[in-house]
Structure 1
Amino acid sequence: MDTAIDKALVILESLETGRGNRSLASIAAATGLPKSTVHRILAILERRAYVQQDAFKDYSLGPKIIALGAFAGERSPLVSAAGPLLDRLVRDWGETVHLGILVEDSLLYVDRREPQDIAVRLVAAPSPLSQPHASAGGKVLLAFGDERLLDTVIAGGLTRYTAATIVDPDRLKAELARVRESGYATSEQERNEGVRAVAVPVRNRSGAVVATISAAGPTQRMTDEKLHSLRVALAQAAATLSPALR
């Protein structure tokens, strides 16, 4: 990290990838930066509302980051074009849907729609930026991405989120080969216990995979039959979206 800007960005990314607020010591440990450096940069970021502190003096992302993210989403052709399709999927199927893209070697959820009128929902939203190997959408992007991307993800370590998470590199490669062959991916309680998900690729006009649409729900509702039907609906939505993407 050559500049103060690099260090500030690393600090912000460490706040995004954590669950809940983080202490100064935790941020320093996660980033490998001296506590004095982290404290100085956090003070600047807090003054400009990019981070904020709670009553325990722990840090989280601030309102300025949220506002910038919302503005970027509004100006994204992908997010704008996908919005009505995601709304329709939620209305028709009553399950949570996500729109995801790759950012370096991580899965970034750029949009999410959740049903409001059902008794059983997903307990919590996933982190907007996460490792891709344990989610249906992440598997899609890995399967259709560059082989060097998969090597990077494996080299970084495959986190075990549940007992079902695939953490063996050979098993993951075999799983991704099936995704390429079938054109869709599933997550069988691999990211969160009690949650099944299915995802399909979104291609641009040239045929390159640029995003993924996924649907997730509790295992008691996501039967094999519903998972299959959702896969078809997601594929139709992705095909509708493709002509709008360069």
Structure 2
Amino acid sequence: MKGTQTHEGATDPGTDGPTDADGGRLVGSDRVLAVLKELARYPEGVGLEELTRVIGSPKPTVHRALAALRRAGLAGQDARGHYALGDEFLRMAFAHHESRPDHVRVRPVLEALAQRFGETAHYAVLDGREVVYRAKVDPPSGAVRLTSMVGGRNPAHATGVGKLLLARHLETLAEVEAWIGGSALERRTPRTLCTADALHRELETIRERGYSLDDQENEPGVNCLALPVYATSPRTPSGAVSVSALTYRTPLSTLVEAADEIRALLGPLGEPHR
């Protein structure tokens, strides 16, 4: 599954820096946050000149933002003078991630799924029009692996986990149409469902059979089967698990045949409580 990265600030030729999503000039804390987000794109660090060019602000402005981040421990500078996310930022991020009860409880299931199928297992939650991957376990062996990552996002309508969770929220065609609104659904592949009618029919099918499929709808050559997880609520799924497989290695039919086995591995996490 491919992750997408977007730049929150585009250079406004009429100002000395980037603009926010509403077209307003980034100032103060907004610019500091823009620099912080840009640093996340450079795990090996980035020089001030390059960061200034990408952010689109004067060098002194970017330098002040970096100084503020360094004082808070959210950015650091190595011997080459390159900047990267700081240890305090990583500590907070991982502490927050690891403390999530759904992530902790689901991970053993993901490990079992990755071991059993030799494919990647995910746990994801719904966030508006996208899914966010909270946990991922790669297979113990295999030369080719998926590029998805924890914290990565994909369109809900194009993924197995996303469609499964949407099926619990959008029960009528009118609800699907309202969810789509005035923004067209992104066509990730020729198989992506991009109309309200097609998505509504798919969600009805998912409710009937109890699992969701992604038949190369998000990325060519990758399919998956997804099931709900009831980690934090007895009746409403907190998220969904999926086995995401390379089609040449594990056909979709193999995953469908194993749906009951996957549900059994989930155990109580996969069953709503009345």
Q: Does the TM-score normalized on the shorter chain lie above 0.5?
A: yes
After TM superposition, the structure 1 = structure 2 runs for residues 36-115 of structure 1, keeping only pairs within 5 Å, are 39=62, 44-45=68-69, 48=72, 50=74, 64-115=88-139
Relative distance call for 1:44 and 1:175 in structure 2 (3 A) is farther
CA distance in 1, matches of 2:156, 2:219: 13
User: What is the deviation of 1:112?
Assistant: 0.3
Specify which of 207, 213, 219 is matched with residue 192 of structure 1: 219
1:181 aligns with 208
1:32 aligns with none
CA distance in 1, matches of 2:168, 2:264: 18
TM-score computed with the length of structure 2 as normaliser: 0.67
Count of matched residue positions in the alignment of Structure 1 and Structure 2: 235
User: Which shows bigger deviation, 228-237 or 180-189?
Assistant: 228-237
User: What is the deviation of 1:153?
Assistant: 4.8
8 Å CA contact 1:162, 1:193 repeated in 2 = yes
Relative distance call for 1:163 and 1:134 in structure 2 (3 A) is same
8 Å CA contact 1:24, 1:59 repeated in 2 = no
1:183 aligned partner, one-letter code = G
CA distance in 2, matches of 1:58, 1:176: 48
2:151 aligns with 128
User: What is the deviation of 1:24?
Assistant: 6.3
CA distance in 2, matches of 1:159, 1:117: 33
SS at match of 1:67: helix
8 Å CA contact 1:198, 1:230 repeated in 2 = no
2:163 aligns with 139
User: Which shows bigger deviation, 68-77 or 144-153?
Assistant: 144-153
8 Å CA contact 2:114, 2:140 repeated in 1 = no
Identity of aligned residues (%): 27
In our comparison, the structure showing a higher alpha carbon Rg is 2
CA distance in 1, matches of 2:37, 2:272: 30
User: Which shows bigger deviation, 41-50 or 192-201?
Assistant: 41-50
User: Which shows bigger deviation, 220-229 or 84-93?
Assistant: 220-229
2:8 aligns with none
2:256 aligned partner, one-letter code = H
Partner deviation per Cα, 1:135-164 (whole Å, 9 max, x = no partner):
111111111125668734554432222222
User: What is the deviation of 1:187?
Assistant: 0.9
2:227 aligned partner, one-letter code = V
CA distance in 2, matches of 1:163, 1:175: 16
User: What is the deviation of 1:118?
Assistant: 1.9
8 Å CA contact 1:139, 1:176 repeated in 2 = yes
CA distance in 2, matches of 1:215, 1:176: 19
8 Å CA contact 1:202, 1:239 repeated in 2 = no
8 Å CA contact 1:137, 1:212 repeated in 2 = yes
User: Which shows bigger deviation, 157-166 or 235-244?
Assistant: 235-244
Gaps of 5+ in 1: 29-34
User: What is the deviation of 1:91?
Assistant: 1.1
CA RMSD, 1 decimal:
4.0
User: What is the deviation of 1:15?
Assistant: 8.0
CA distance in 1, matches of 2:138, 2:53: 35
8 Å CA contact 1:73, 1:80 repeated in 2 = no
8 Å CA contact 2:120, 2:244 repeated in 1 = yes
User: What is the deviation of 1:14?
Assistant: 8.2
User: Which shows bigger deviation, 174-183 or 226-235?
Assistant: 226-235
8 Å CA contact 2:236, 2:272 repeated in 1 = no
Higher helix residue share: 1
